[in-house]
């Protein structure tokens, strides 16, 4: 039996003393080449894409001890600097995804105004390492599970940099890998396309096979004043006009869009159509798929850059992806399987915990090598609901999942696989996990008995849930206030149906004041500042090499303070003074005070004459 160094996850930072390397190490006095380390936590999250990050952070913030295992050197998955896929989700401005995703995007705006991808990686990284309840393991791949009956007891993992084998014990395990490595537990899953008749999915034209949507490797261009020809490597494809000689008719059906390879103009710098692998196993054949995609993308740019019509003039190749981004591989089976009809009906689920808004966007498995249309998009109701029942296993009681391996059909997945939606699913799963740990139950019991608590927590954490609105705090509900700020009690923390649900506050002026007839005890406040959800540029640029700096949303409060009136005088109980506020959601705590009034005073904005506030709750 291997000897493991057992570590209960207390998540302390360890700094080696300078004397640690004082003695030369040889084969005679060296420790084993491979270390064995045992860790224990409440929650083990496998996969550090946006779904895994949001799951880990949400669970940790709600009190669970979390180990986040990521097989890459950076976090972010398809959104990271290694792949650079665009973060998309709902199509409308009013439904732009908030919660932890918006927090990371605002952090990126603040610390990375030039929008460099490697610094975007670190904006995600900062979000994780700032949480004391998370232990992060990068470069670590899960390769096995240890079962205790029908439940997962631990996962085994290997860190390629540290030559370390981990045994990671946990109470609940969340698979956010996209590929579903925790299928090793015997969890039920599906891969491929159902027969159209199984769920009567009319948009699915073929099925009953293992084919999926393919992977893509992206390239990024930069504008330049110098034009020189581009030569692709010998092993790349060398395309001619004949390779792209096919008809590209538009759909004549309302709400249906046909998509083709966009080899004509590089200005939008969006090469999603460099896609391959749907006819293969996107996990087992990953290396071969990667090579084929490299051949494609180098050949594509050679063709575009050197074309005699000048379509590549003014652009140079700046970056090419090191890894393919996956659209689809494995889907777990939960108590509910999300289908085309769930999406099209709007998803009116009583256990709704997230939403989508991307189209039912089914990519043909032949992908790039298909002449003609390679994907078909079908319009969907914006903000269709997604239920908690797609986030946990139907047969492994302590297994949850989020991201593109949720319980869905091939068609259902086509609308939920995009990263903004996956981030919401991750936050929902992490919140559900935290409630399970708090109550000492499994996800199924959370679903049956505690789903209302999960939904309330998500709304409090700035996640919109369809067909309902957040309830304000009891103190806020019992306060009296002027008519012009009464709107702050409607629980709608964004512009909705073109109605402004916020209050404008001039810096230094007393604008938001709550009053009570008798003194009440107040120990905190919750605020939502307007981060201008319509500003889509918070999602990373496709043209990276630029000196244009992004600006923080100018109507957000940069500095503010909260004051309480004790019956005699106003006292400052919290002030954002020495550092800048760059977040949309702020939850602040202070020593409990007895007060008859509470007010928020904005002292500086990010540039606008007035700040715009959607919520101010007394806690």
Identify the CA nearest to 256 among candidates 203, 205, 208, 304.
203
Number of domains in the chain: 3
Asked if the model's pLDDT at residue 79 lies above 90, the reply is yes
Domain match, 40 and 187 both? yes
Taking only the tens place, the pLDDT of each residue in 462-516 is 999 999 999 999 999 999 999 999 999 999 999 999 999 999 999 998 789 999 9
Read off the pLDDT of each residue in 306-317 and give the average, rounded to a whole number: 92
Domain match, 499 and 451 both? no
Tell me whether residue 209 is in a domain.
no
Residue by residue, what is the 3-state secondary structure of 510-574? CCEEEEEEEEEEEEEEEEEECCCCCCHHHCCCCCCCCCCCCCCCCCCEEEEEEEEECCCCEEEEE
Asked if the model's pLDDT at residue 306 lies above 70, the reply is yes
Identify the CA nearest to 174 among candidates 22, 318, 46, 329.
46
Tell me whether residue 163 is in a domain.
yes
Read off the pLDDT of each residue in 557-579 and give the average, rounded to a whole number: 95
Tell me whether residue 466 is in a domain.
no
| Beta bridge mates, 43 | 66, 172
Asked if the model's pLDDT at residue 12 lies above 50, the reply is no
Tell me whether residue 530 is in a domain.
yes
Report pLDDT for 13: 42
Read off the pLDDT of each residue in 89-104 and give the average, rounded to a whole number: 97
Taking only the tens place, the pLDDT of each residue in 48-72 is 999 999 999 999 999 999 999 999 9
Burial class (CB in 10 A: 0-12, 13-18, 19+), 51: buried
The answer to whether 608 touches 126, Cβ cutoff 8 Å, is no
Taking only the tens place, the pLDDT of each residue in 507-539 is 998 789 999 999 999 999 999 999 999 876 788
Taking only the tens place, the pLDDT of each residue in 201-245 is 999 989 999 999 999 999 999 888 888 999 999 999 999 999 999
Domain match, 55 and 171 both? yes
Other Cβ atoms closer than 10 A to 226: 6
Domain match, 386 and 530 both? no
Identify the CA nearest to 61 among candidates 431, 350, 362.
431
Among 407, 435, 460, the domain-final residue is 460
268-299 burial: b if 16+ Cβ within 10 Å, else e: ebebbbbbbbbbbbbbeebeebbebbbbbbbb
Q: Give the structural domain span for 264.
A: 215-326
Asked if the model's pLDDT at residue 10 lies above 60, the reply is no
The answer to whether 380 touches 414, Cβ cutoff 8 Å, is no
Tell me whether residue 399 is in a domain.
yes
At residue 91's C-alpha, the angle toward residues 331 and 323, to 5°, is: 50
Domain match, 402 and 352 both? yes
Domain match, 67 and 172 both? yes
Q: What is the mean pLDDT of the chain?
A: 94
Domain match, 180 and 290 both? no
pTM for the model stands at: 0.96
For 411: left if phi > 0, alpha if psi spans -120 to 50, otherwise beta; the answer is: alpha
Report pLDDT for 154: 98
Domain match, 41 and 149 both? yes
Domain match, 507 and 575 both? yes
Phi and psi (nearest 5°) for 173? -120, 135
User: Confidence band (pLDDT; 50, 70, 90) for 21?
Assistant: low
Report pLDDT for 535: 76
Tell me whether residue 207 is in a domain.
no
Domain match, 339 and 322 both? no
Asked if the model's pLDDT at residue 118 lies above 50, the reply is yes
Domain match, 59 and 184 both? yes
Domain match, 279 and 235 both? yes
CATH of the domain at 131: 3.50.50.60
Written as six digits, the tokens of 261 are 């390879």
| Beta bridge mates, 35 | 164
Of 152-161, 163-172, 267-276, the one with minimum mean pLDDT is 267-276
Rg of the chain on CA atoms, in Å: 26
Report pLDDT for 14: 46
Q: What percent of the chain has pLDDT above 90?
A: 88
Read off the pLDDT of each residue in 554-573 and give the average, rounded to a whole number: 96
Going edge to edge, which strands form the sheet with 140-148? 5-8, 35-40, 164-169, 151-159, 140-148
d(CA 132, CA 258): 47
Report pLDDT for 15: 47
CATH of the domain at 521: 2.60.120.260
Among 460, 487, 518, the domain-final residue is 460
Estimate the crossing angle of helix 50-61 against helix 99-111, to 10 degrees: 100
Written as six digits, the tokens of 587 are 């939850």
Among 435, 460, 485, the domain-final residue is 460
Asked if the model's pLDDT at residue 331 lies above 80, the reply is yes
d(CA 520, CA 543): 53
Tell me whether residue 25 is in a domain.
no
Tell me whether residue 499 is in a domain.
yes
User: Confidence band (pLDDT; 50, 70, 90) for 577?
Assistant: confident
């Amino acid at each position: 039996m291997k000897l493991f160094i057992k570590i209960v996850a207390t998540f302390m930072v360890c700094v080696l003393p300078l004397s640690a390397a004082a003695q030369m190490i040889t084969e005679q006095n060296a420790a084993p080449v491979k270390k064995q380390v045992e860790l224990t936590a409440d929650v083990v999250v496998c996969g550090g894409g946006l779904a895994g990050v949001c799951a880990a952070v949400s669970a940790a913030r709600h009190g669970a001890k979390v180990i986040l295992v990521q097989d890459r050197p950076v976090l972010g998955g398809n959104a990271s600097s290694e792949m650079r896929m665009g973060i998309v989700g709902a199509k409308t401005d009013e439904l732009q995804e908030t919660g932890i995703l918006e927090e990371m995007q605002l952090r990126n705006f603040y610390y990375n105004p030039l929008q460099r991808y490697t610094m975007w990686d670190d904006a995600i990284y900062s979000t994780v390492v700032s949480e004391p309840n998370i232990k992060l393991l990068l470069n670590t791949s899960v390769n096995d599970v240890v079962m205790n009956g029908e439940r997962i007891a631990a996962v085994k993992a290997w860190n390629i940099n540290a030559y370390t084998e981990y045994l990671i014990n946990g109470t609940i395990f969340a698979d956010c890998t996209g590929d579903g490595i925790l299928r090793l537990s015997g969890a039920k899953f599906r891969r491929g396309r159902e027969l159209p008749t199984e769920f009567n999915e009319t948009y699915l034209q073929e099925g009953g096979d293992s084919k999926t949507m393919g992977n893509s490797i992206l390239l990024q261009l930069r504008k330049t004043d110098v034009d020189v020809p581009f030569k692709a490597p010998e092993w790349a494809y060398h395309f001619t006009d004949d390779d792209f000689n096919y008809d590209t008719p538009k759909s004549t059906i309302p709400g249906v869009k046909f998509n083709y390879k966009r080899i004509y103009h590089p200005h939008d710098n969006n090469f999603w159509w460099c896609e391959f692998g749907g006819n293969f196993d996107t996990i087992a054949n990953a290396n071969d798929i990667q090579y084929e995609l490299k051949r494609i993308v180098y050949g594509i740019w050679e063709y575009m850059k050197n074309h005699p019509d000048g379509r590549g003039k003014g652009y140079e190749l700046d970056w090419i992806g090191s890894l393919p981004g996956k659209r689809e591989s494995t889907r777990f089976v939960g108590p509910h399987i999300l289908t085309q009809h769930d999406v099209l009906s709007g998803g009116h689920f009583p256990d709704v915990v997230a939403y989508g808004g991307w189209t039912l966007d089914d990519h043909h498995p032949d992908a790039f090598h298909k002449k003609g249309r390679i994907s078909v998009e079908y319009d969907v109701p914006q903000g269709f609901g997604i239920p908690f029942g797609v986030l946990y296993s139907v047969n492994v009681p302590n297994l949850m999942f989020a991201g593109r391996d949720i319980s869905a059909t091939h068609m259902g997945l086509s609308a939920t696989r995009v990263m903004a939606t996956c981030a919401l699913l991750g936050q929902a799963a992490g919140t559900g996990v935290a409630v399970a740990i708090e109550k000492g139950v499994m996800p199924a019991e959370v679903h049956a008995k505690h789903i209302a608590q999960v939904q309330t927590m998500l709304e409090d954490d700035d996640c919109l849930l369809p067909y309902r609105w957040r309830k304000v705090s009891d103190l806020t509900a019992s306060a009296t206030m002027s008519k012009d700020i009464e709107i702050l009690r409607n629980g709608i923390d964004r512009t909705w149906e073109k109605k402004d649900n916020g209050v404008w506050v001039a810096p230094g002026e007393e604008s938001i004041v709550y009053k009570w007839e008798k003194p009440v005890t107040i120990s905190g406040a919750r605020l939502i500042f307007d981060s201008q959800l319509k500003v889509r540029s918070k999602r990373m640029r496709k043209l990276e090499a630029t000196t244009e700096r992004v600006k923080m949303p100018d109507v957000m409060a940069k500095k503010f303070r909260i004051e309480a009136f004790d019956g005699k005088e106003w006292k400052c109980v919290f002030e954002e003074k020495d550092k800048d506020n760059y977040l949309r959601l702020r939850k602040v705590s202070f020593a409990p005070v007895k007060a008859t009034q509470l007010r928020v005073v904005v002292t500086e904005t990010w540039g606008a004459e007035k700040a715009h506030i959607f919520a101010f709750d007394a806690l």
